[in-house]
Chains A and B, each alone.
Chain A
């Protein structure tokens, strides 16, 4: 069983590395959105500092949304998904591997680049650490929740809009708790409560979404 988990993880990572252009896409999008903000709202450091957590997190959310479809779409198109569904391995475990692979490909680069960009936006050094923690805990939730959305819409030929409508409302709690935590850190308040809530969301989503996505996929392929 563990072997199945690792071979799917390895498979998705190899596929991502062989498609370097696609690999760069989400993180490039993330950087561009953040860089455009100072151009739009002006270079007033007081304003930027105030909205920096929101900017970073909204950009992270949108870049995750941009790459979600890839979790299952290509597997659906070439028939690999059918083979996974009729395989002698638990589907939820395979999906967990795919979620983690998706996070490593699209989430981890954002975790690395995010704090750096926040520095450019003038976020106080005290809040950078909290931002890093929220990104680290929060971005896997985006991949996990997204997997259910993609699983539900992958059978539709044009599921793009529905996917956004379906997934974005579920992303809202992550956005609220994460930016609240960074705001609190910048103002010098304790951040334990929102970070703890985020961690709870992470555990909840990682343990429940593979089952939900598996059930949704069975409907989507039939």
Chain B
């Protein structure tokens, strides 16, 4: 389903300037700077507790920065929360999936929340998405009965619902099998080729070809 999608409209950019966040009276990181253009991936590195998740949450606007600013297309993300959120897909630490809803119900909620480009009532698209994340025939299974890897796939499906140009992925490969890893790598590859941007943390190496991948080590800026 990735092949058919057109390139993202407009040229987007994500700029982080002098970002610093303090947690429990300690600077997690000071002075993080980077700029991300279309077709670029930022791979965040750092040991456990270096602040990778915090930085990702700050990029999403969930955690407020103590110093510095984050810009989307040169406008601060705080000033254009709505436009920015339309362009953003976030896969966090927790999956954001309701255990007591079925796969399809979870997907529908995500679709409405993200103002998906697809219609909630469009059964063919829903099946297409479920098929591509490997959850075909599982639409009426409660998320509680899925394995951790399957739940991760379902969470990742959020990125495919919307034409969001920025993907923020926090350890997208945890709990996934070889097929799952390959699928996510493919999806990221297709996203980048369409002119998307991605900020990723991952302890496993990501195999993405022909992409400008910047590495940022957070332990170095602590």
A binding-site residues for B, Cβ under 8 Å: 3-4, 7-8, 11, 14-15, 18-19, 77-80, 82-89, 221-222
- How large, as a class, is the contact surface on chain B? 20 to 34
CA of A85 to CA of B114 in the docked complex: distance in angstroms? Answer: 11
7 A-B pairs with the lowest CB-CB distances in the bound complex, closest first: A79-B94, A79-B96, A87-B113, A83-B96, A88-B115, A7-B112, A88-B86
Assess whether B110 is interfacial by the CB under 8 Å rule. yes
**When A and B form their complex, what is the total count of cross-chain residue pairs whose Cβ atoms lie within 8 Å?**
78
Q: Which residues of B contact A82 (CB under 8 A)?
A: 57, 60, 62, 90, 92, 94, 96
| Interface-facing stretch out of B34-42, B99-107, B187-195, B207-215 | B99-107
Q: Which residues of B contact A84 (CB under 8 A)?
A: 113
* Chain A to chain B contacts (Cβ below 8 Å), 16 pairs: A4-B113, A7-B120, A14-B105, A15-B98, A15-B100, A78-B97, A78-B99, A79-B94, A79-B95, A79-B96, A79-B97, A80-B97, A83-B92, A83-B110, A87-B85, A221-B62
Chain A residue with minimal CB distance to B64?
Answer: A222
Task: Give the secondary structure class of B's interface.
Answer: loop
Chain A residue with minimal CB distance to B65?
Answer: A222
CA of A87 to CA of B64 in the docked complex: distance in angstroms? Answer: 17
Query: Given A78-B95, A222-B63, are A88 and B105 also a contact pair (CB < 8 Å)?
Result: no
Contact A7 B85 (CB under 8 A): no
Q: Which residues of B contact A14 (CB under 8 A)?
A: 100-101, 105
CA of A213 to CA of B95 in the docked complex: distance in angstroms? Answer: 23
Q: Which residues of A contact B57 (CB under 8 A)?
A: 82, 222
Task: Give the secondary structure class of A's interface.
Answer: helix
Chain B residue with minimal CB distance to A90?
Answer: B82
Contact A7 B101 (CB under 8 A): no
B96 to chain A, nearest CB (A): 4
CA of A14 to CA of B140 in the docked complex: distance in angstroms? Answer: 14
Contact A89 B109 (CB under 8 A): no
B94 to chain A, nearest CB (A): 3
Among B86, B99, B100, find the residue whose CB has the most chain A CB atoms closer than 10 A: B100
Contact B63 A4 (CB under 8 A): no
Query: Given A3-B112, A11-B105, A14-B105, are A86 and B61 also a contact pair (CB < 8 Å)?
Result: yes
Assess whether B108 is interfacial by the CB under 8 Å rule. yes
Q: Which residues of B contact A18 (CB under 8 A)?
A: 100
Chain B residue with minimal CB distance to A94?
Answer: B113
Chain A residue with minimal CB distance to B116?
Answer: A88
Query: Given A7-B109, A14-B105, A78-B94, are A86 and B100 also a contact pair (CB < 8 Å)?
Result: no
B24 to chain A, nearest CB (A): 14
Contact A79 B60 (CB under 8 A): no
